[in-house]
Amino acid sequence: MDDRYRAVTAAADVLRTRLPEAPRVAMTLGSGISEAFRLPEEGIRIPWSDIPGFPLPTVAGHAGDFWAGRIARMPVLIQRGRTHYYEGRSLDDVVFATRLFAVLGVKILIATNAAGGINTAYQSGDIVLITDHINMLGVNPLRGPNVDDLGPRFPDMSKAYAPSLCEMAKQAASDENIELKEGVYVAAMGPSYETPAEIRAFRALGGDLAGMSTVPEVIAARHAGIDVLGLSMVTNLAAGVDPNATLTHEEVIETTQRKGAEMARLLTAILTRMEEDVSS
């Protein structure tokens, strides 16, 4: 058995004993969003430090625990925060949680993040449905020997973000009267913010959003057969879009806390639609 798979299954064995029921959906709440998302009183929290081999976060705005319970009657496992490649971690660490979800039998991953707006039609606080991505990290979590227990050597990424889930998110946003924009997410290595020239290059490539996460998780999820829905919150305009702006992580956290309730309302509406779809 592959050592990476052995480590994930050992973690899953421990986590499974703490879960009230098997989760169908996993959600990753990115920078600041995990703090802004008001969790139901019912449910349990499980610190990542209780799970053997689980990489712990080092970045402000990432809570570092799981919440398990039901939202809109859907059994959900919420990852409050994430590990980033720029923290000096391996990509196996970055996608550890995603592979853990696969071993637990999760069918759908909702990945959220904070992002800089490349598209000049975006404003700070906008919520954007990710329709595709561009990997500018220069690395891929599937590099090296394939983990055959999780998925194939050459997974198809032509529909990385499930069209049916994208349509469900648009319908949920309409029901909640939330403006949901659409765009392509560009993942850069970080931790420095991009230069104006880099942002212009990303725009020329077709990018609408810039961030430092999510793409490795999506690749690992699709490798393991998990359907993905991606949502970004535009926390600032990317470098050069507003020539007078100075980019700070504090601005990212402030925006996600200010607009987090709207993101939470949208996520709950999406989960409600998922539950109805499963029940029908």
Greatest mean pLDDT range, 64-78, 234-248, 255-269: 64-78
Contact call for residues 40 and 71 (beta carbons, < 8 A): yes
Length in residues, the chain: 280
Strand-pair partners of 184: 132
Contacts of 55 (CB under 8 A, 6+ apart): 48, 83, 89, 93, 94, 96
Query: Among all residues, which ones are annotated catalytic?
Result: 31, 62, 84, 86-87, 114, 212-213, 236, 249
- Residue with the bigger pLDDT between 120 and 56: it is 120
Query: What are the contacts of 11-15 at 24+ separation with CB within 8 A?
Result: 11/51, 11/52, 11/53, 11/54, 11/96, 11/100, 12/100, 12/103, 12/104, 14/50, 14/51, 14/52, 15/46, 15/51, 15/66, 15/100, 15/104
pLDDT(252) > 70 = no
Rounded Cα gap, residues 129 and 132, in angstroms: 9
CA 125 to chain centre: 17
| Alpha-carbon torsion (149, 150, 152, 153), positive or negative | negative
pLDDT(116) > 70 = yes
Rounded Cα gap, residues 217 and 83, in angstroms: 10
Rounded Cα gap, residues 27 and 80, in angstroms: 8
Residue 248 has a CB neighbour count (10 Å cut-off) of: 11
Rounded Cα gap, residues 160 and 156, in angstroms: 8
Amino acid, res. 168? M
Closest to 210 in 3D by CA, of 114, 140, 122, 142:
114
Specify the range with the lowest mean pLDDT, choosing from 29-33, 72-76, 82-86, 268-272. Answer: 29-33
How high does pLDDT run on average in the chain?
90
pLDDT of residue 33: 77
Look at phi and psi of residue 19 and say left if phi exceeds 0, alpha if psi is from -120 to 50, else beta. Answer: beta
Contact call for residues 144 and 245 (beta carbons, < 8 A): no
Instruction: Provide the token pair at 28.
Output: 């990753």
The DSSP string of 29-78 is E-TTHHHHS---SSSEEEEGGGSTTPPPP-STT---EEEEEEETTEEEEE
- The whole-number average pLDDT for the span 181-198 is 94
Confidence grade of residue 205 (pLDDT, cut at 50, 70, 90): very high
Confidence grade of residue 31 (pLDDT, cut at 50, 70, 90): low
pLDDT(47) > 60 = yes
Rounded Cα gap, residues 172 and 177, in angstroms: 9
Instruction: Provide the token pair at 230.
Output: 């991606």
Percent of the chain whose pLDDT exceeds 70: 88
- The whole-number average pLDDT for the span 8-15 is 96
List phi, psi (to 5°) of 95.
Answer: -105, 15
Confidence grade of residue 245 (pLDDT, cut at 50, 70, 90): low
Per the CATH hierarchy, to which homologous superfamily does domain 3-279 belong? Nucleoside phosphorylase domain (3.40.50.1580)
Contact call for residues 138 and 91 (beta carbons, < 8 A): no
**Domain range annotation of the chain:** 3-279
